[in-house]
Structure 1
Amino acid sequence: MFPNLPRQLLLGYILVLSLIPTVSCSACPPPIFLPLSNCTIAGTAIDSWGLRLDLADPSQYLCVVPSTVVNSTLVISSTFCQTEPNVTTAQCESLCGNTFNTSIAGTSYTSSSPGAVLAPNPVWAELSPQALLAGTTVLQLPPENDVSKFPIGIITSGNHQNAGHFGLANDSDALHSLLSDGLIPDNGFGFNAGSQSVTNPRDGGLVLGGYDLASIDGAFSTFPVATTADAGQRECPFQITITMLVLRFPLAEGFTDVNLTSPGILIPACIEPYDNLFRFPQTILQAFQTVTGWSSNTTPDPNLYIAEPGLNYPQMTGFNGSLIFTLNDGYEVEIPNDELSNPLRGIDTNGARVLQPNITEVGIFYQEAPLNTAVLGKVFLSQVSYHMLLPPRYVQ
């Protein structure tokens, strides 16, 4: 264990693969790199996005998304899409990143109680108290790393579940399991979200036990990870503070800035790669909608399933602007227009990810953030990579 040793959050500008371990140790195993990208489910035409995990024997391939607010790897039960209303089975499978079938897993899966094999997941219990099974199974990682008793939670019910989670919070089951099996040098990790921009897409990656030096342009900025894990009213292990948020519009010559925050008001924010879009408190969301002339009258194709609805604008009106974040140490991050706005993306009835080009979607969730705390998801992380760092190796 790591008593009384706070983690550090290091943010660096994106440049991508030179793996550096968290600790310097000649006898330690190298870090493990997992690609983060579009993820087609084997044997189907169903598209998904995330990390492709090879679970059980025989192999079941699932696409999961890194999450820094849950500790456990949570996958979706094979029974889930049989009862999910208002979506086709293919849409549901695409949304979930495929599902896990305990019957097919046979003896490679051992059922247990969540409390026996999973770390606590208080955010999950607070925001999504769905039925959860648990057990251990085989996890096969590149190049030839196998974990024989990898703990997983299996979500059996809930309202419109998104993809499975690869939990990376403070007591991450995955990191502890890989570390205890001697497969990674330490339980730090590096994350590069890549980009889901339509015009400039870029694959990302997750480095377990280190980070990708080649993905960093310039020096790291260091942020302490709060020991209370609270950001505003929401539990949030990896948090920062927004001191100013500016919406920048280009002009024929130069640009004009609109401040979306009030001077002196600090906005707590969670860094959470599981979410695609920004989620803002009501005051910021309303300010953005007012300044940009947003209207709720733009209607997507009813046959598309939109997992995270953003702010939609007619293509003829479009959107041209960028967001500039100033964080608590003066660190500044600009989200350019080609990351912030794209043609509306959804899942068609066959499970394929498609675009609706007559609608422009801005990457801000259409409702206010839960518990009055901003969430900075993959749109934000398209411009920074981050490395969670523990002090030197206090592992027994």
Structure 2
Amino acid sequence: MEGGIVEAGGAPNETTLAGTPEDIKKLVSSSFGGTDDIELEGSVQLKDFPIGIPVFKWDAGYTYLHALGLGSNSTYLNALQKAGNIGSRVWSIFWGRVWVEDDLDGSLVLGGYDEEKVTGDNYTAPLDYDDYVGSSGCFTGMRVVLSDIKVNFRNGTEKSIFPTDTALPCCIDPHHHLLLDAPTAYVSNFQQVTGLFASSEAYSRGFHYDALMFERDNAFDGDITFHLDSGLQIRVPNDQYMVPSVNYQANGGRIQDPDTYELLIRGHNDDAESHLQGMPALLGRYFLTAAYLMVNHDAGTFTLWQANPSNSSKLVRVFDEEMGDKCGAKSGVIQPSASYYTAASSISASAATKPEDDDEINTTHDSKGSSSPSGAVIGGAVVGSVIGEKDKAEDTYYYYSHEEMERDQTPELDANQQATVE
């Protein structure tokens, strides 16, 4: 295991944008590199795969496990696609749920998504890798705008924690260790609305680093709902963001303190004295206890649904348009490229002045009156699924082989269609 990451076959540089941990760019030059055979449970083995071993804490110490990179130039996804194990560089994630009566495992699907883990309409937008400030993008490529965050009380009432007439752009970061990072005003409003104040401020130095800690008897018991300006609403259960304190033992195990709870919402001041200065607002891994995320690097898009917390699984392959042309209708679902959603957004925004018979892109008005892409436009190709024959539906968990592709009339779903082929 001698030499660096580049010598082992890894990428020679790391792109850093506003919000990216500053020390990540040091990983290439400082980490050990080597190759090994790698096989994730349920997948195939990749031989002589390049692996980097960091030799110092990075990501401010939040990253305790070896990270599996699934970014736009992911060595892992590229290798799987080149070997013919997946047809598209698509990955989907549901974080799962813990601290409930029956823990629910999370899932990572490569090459498609799990139809049983989603419910309702979805929101699809282009991946946009850029600096958070002064652009429409962010370092993860996945930027959404929150129009409101509401606290849901047990008696059925709800209250907003948003300052008046504001919107909050957020980067979705599945790697982030909390539910929400936001300007301090939002956290202060949450505490005012819920009456959640610690007798003495203490912050976690364990698994949920920097989370505000409370005595169990003082913990808030309501849910929280994130309202996207697209109309999508994601309600996170109380037990997924108001959680028992978790710390590490000397042997690497975890220890839970049932008498101390942590609020997985962190505030940051955008000033020079704050170690979070310049950081964008973030929706982290616990957002994905209630939302389901799919990223399609080949199409250049990401898609969000409300998650259906289920142990059931029904995998659907997803292709970009080029790969879809090579595959049959019974192989999977075609998702249009990012330009489709950009064009659809433009048409939707100007629909009031465009002729009704302009069917270049099939769109409808959003009944919620959102100024962002309408619910019809963002539905995209993955609203429905194209189901293959029974024997093909029982293929290897994440992958399909090119030999199983069939040329056929592949349905390309427009924004309003849901297609199923029995």
AA aligned opposite 1:342 = V
Is residue 377 from structure 1 mapped to residue 258 from structure 2 by the alignment?
Answer: no
CA contact (8 A) 2:203 2:210 kept: no
160, 163, 166: which one aligns with 1:258 = 160
| Alpha-carbon distance between aligned partners in 1 of 2:241 and 2:199, rounded to the nearest angstrom | 19
SS in 1 for 2:278: helix
Aligned to 1:286: 188
Task: Rate the CA distance shift 1:119–1:171 in 2: closer, same or farther, 3 A.
Answer: farther
CA contact (8 A) 2:95 2:106 kept: yes
| Alpha-carbon distance between aligned partners in 2 of 1:327 and 1:290, rounded to the nearest angstrom | 23
SS in 1 for 2:22: helix
Task: Rate the CA distance shift 1:298–1:266 in 2: closer, same or farther, 3 A.
Answer: closer
| 1:180, distance to aligned residue in structure 2 (A) | 0.9
Aligned to 1:66: none
Is residue 182 from structure 1 mapped to residue 182 from structure 2 by the alignment?
Answer: no
Aligned to 2:144: 240
Residue segments in structure 2 that go unaligned for 5+ positions in a row: 270-275, 300-319, 327-422
| 1:144, distance to aligned residue in structure 2 (A) | 6.6
| Alpha-carbon distance between aligned partners in 1 of 2:51 and 2:64, rounded to the nearest angstrom | 17
Aligned pairs for 1:120-269 within 5 A: 120-123=13-16, 126-128=22-24, 129=26, 131-143=30-42, 145-158=44-57, 160=61, 161-226=63-128, 228-232=129-133, 235-251=139-155, 254-263=156-165, 265-269=166-170
More off after superposition, 229-238 vs 160-169: 229-238
Aligned pairs for 1:342-361 within 5 A: 342-361=243-262
Task: Rate the CA distance shift 1:354–1:298 in 2: closer, same or farther, 3 A.
Answer: farther
| Alpha-carbon distance between aligned partners in 1 of 2:40 and 2:68, rounded to the nearest angstrom | 14
| 1:298, distance to aligned residue in structure 2 (A) | 5.4
| Alpha-carbon distance between aligned partners in 2 of 1:271 and 1:320, rounded to the nearest angstrom | 25
| Alpha-carbon distance between aligned partners in 1 of 2:210 and 2:282, rounded to the nearest angstrom | 15
Residue segments in structure 1 that go unaligned for 5+ positions in a row: 1-101, 104-109
| Alpha-carbon distance between aligned partners in 1 of 2:231 and 2:12, rounded to the nearest angstrom | 35
Aligned to 1:317: 218
CA contact (8 A) 1:319 1:362 kept: no
Aligned to 2:6: 113
More off after superposition, 306-315 vs 330-339: 306-315
Aligned to 2:198: 295
| Alpha-carbon distance between aligned partners in 1 of 2:210 and 2:127, rounded to the nearest angstrom | 30
AA aligned opposite 1:393 = E
Q: Point out which structure has higher relative CO (alpha carbons under 8 A, 6+ apart).
A: 1
| 1:205, distance to aligned residue in structure 2 (A) | 1.0
| Alpha-carbon distance between aligned partners in 1 of 2:12 and 2:141, rounded to the nearest angstrom | 14
| Alpha-carbon distance between aligned partners in 2 of 1:193 and 1:235, rounded to the nearest angstrom | 21
Aligned to 1:332: 233
Is residue 273 from structure 1 mapped to residue 168 from structure 2 by the alignment?
Answer: no
CA contact (8 A) 1:248 1:258 kept: no
| Alpha-carbon distance between aligned partners in 2 of 1:196 and 1:216, rounded to the nearest angstrom | 19
| 1:119, distance to aligned residue in structure 2 (A) | 6.1
Aligned to 2:417: none
More off after superposition, 229-238 vs 199-208: 229-238
What are the superposed Cα offsets for residues 330-375 of structure 1, whole Å, 9 maximum, x if unpaired?
1111112122212212223343222211112122136555524111
AA aligned opposite 1:245 = I
| 1:117, distance to aligned residue in structure 2 (A) | 2.0
- Structure that is richer in helix per residue: 2
Could you tell me the TM-score, scaled by structure 2's length? 0.59
What are the superposed Cα offsets for residues 238-294 of structure 1, whole Å, 9 maximum, x if unpaired?
22111211223333xx3141333432x232211111123121123222322444342
| Alpha-carbon distance between aligned partners in 2 of 1:120 and 1:288, rounded to the nearest angstrom | 40
More off after superposition, 184-193 vs 240-249: 240-249
What are the superposed Cα offsets for residues 189-228 of structure 1, whole Å, 9 maximum, x if unpaired?
11111113344521011111111122122343222222x4
Task: Rate the CA distance shift 1:224–1:112 in 2: closer, same or farther, 3 A.
Answer: closer
| Alpha-carbon distance between aligned partners in 2 of 1:121 and 1:326, rounded to the nearest angstrom | 33
CA contact (8 A) 2:8 2:35 kept: no
More off after superposition, 228-237 vs 183-192: 228-237
Task: Rate the CA distance shift 1:133–1:281 in 2: closer, same or farther, 3 A.
Answer: farther
Task: Rate the CA distance shift 1:256–1:384 in 2: closer, same or farther, 3 A.
Answer: closer
SS in 2 for 1:316: helix
AA aligned opposite 2:321 = P
SS in 1 for 2:321: coil
SS in 2 for 1:230: coil
Task: Rate the CA distance shift 1:280–1:201 in 2: closer, same or farther, 3 A.
Answer: farther
Could you tell me the TM-score, scaled by structure 1's length? 0.63
More off after superposition, 278-287 vs 164-173: 278-287
AA aligned opposite 1:149 = D
AA aligned opposite 2:111 = G
- Alignment RMSD: 3.0
What are the superposed Cα offsets for residues 29-75 of structure 1, whole Å, 9 maximum, x if unpaired?
xxxxxxxxxxxxxxxxxxxxxxxxxxxxxxxxxxxxxxxxxxxxxxx
More off after superposition, 179-188 vs 160-169: 160-169
CA contact (8 A) 1:261 1:284 kept: yes
| 1:318, distance to aligned residue in structure 2 (A) | 1.6
Q: From the CA coordinates, give the structure whose radius of gyration is larger.
A: 2
| Alpha-carbon distance between aligned partners in 1 of 2:87 and 2:127, rounded to the nearest angstrom | 21
